[in-house]
Amino acid sequence: MISIKMQSAIDDQVNAEIWSAYLYLSMASYFESKSLRGFANWMKIQWQEEVTHAIKFFDYVHSRGGKVSLKPISEVQLDWANPVAVFIDTLEHEQHVTQLINNLANIAVEEKDHATNSMLQWFISEQIEEEANAEQIITQLKMIGDNGYGLLMLDKELATRVFVDSTKGPVQ
């Protein structure tokens, strides 16, 4: 059985993951409005990943005999100055999510909840990848600068990203 404290913290995380999905869908809309469909595709994949993360937490709580309490979703930003600004916000957001996941792991340790701590290790590894991906695109965008051709080439590359549900497998 999951503790009340752990369940409450995971409820908050479900909300944070859904808010993240909403943010990435807003970023996709921004890129669509700029005719950068590859960038929009990258953000739509992020949106899908965040939804699957929320579901992984949701399913985990229920597998441990708990019940998720859903909360309202706060508004998200709708516009950015340029693609670099979007990805700087993406990196900062992923760093925030890393802190949230680390806080969950701290609670699991405090509660001596080894099962939850084990499940959270997947998310800890996932966050390393999320931050690295955002940092790489920021670096590329800064190298491109005002070169429209370079931006279009990166847009073409980002259009090839496909969604793979890495959360599938046994509920941990």
List, for residues 135-149, the tens digit of each pLDDT value: 999 999 999 999 999
Give 98: exposed, middle or buried? Use CB within 10 Å, 0-12, 13-18, 19+. middle
- Please give the pLDDT value at position 5: 97
Mean pLDDT of the residues in the chain = 95
C-alpha span between 108 and 5 (Å, rounded):
9
More confident residue, 172 or 141: 141
> Which residue range is the domain that position 86 belongs to?
4-158
- Please give the pLDDT value at position 92: 98
CATH number of the domain within which 139 lies = 1.20.1260.10
Total domains in the chain come to 1
33 is a domain residue: yes
Ramachandran quadrant class, 112 (left: phi over 0; alpha: psi -120 to 50; beta: rest): left
62 is a domain residue: yes
165 is a domain residue: no
pLDDT band at 172 (very low <50, low <70, confident <90, very high): very low
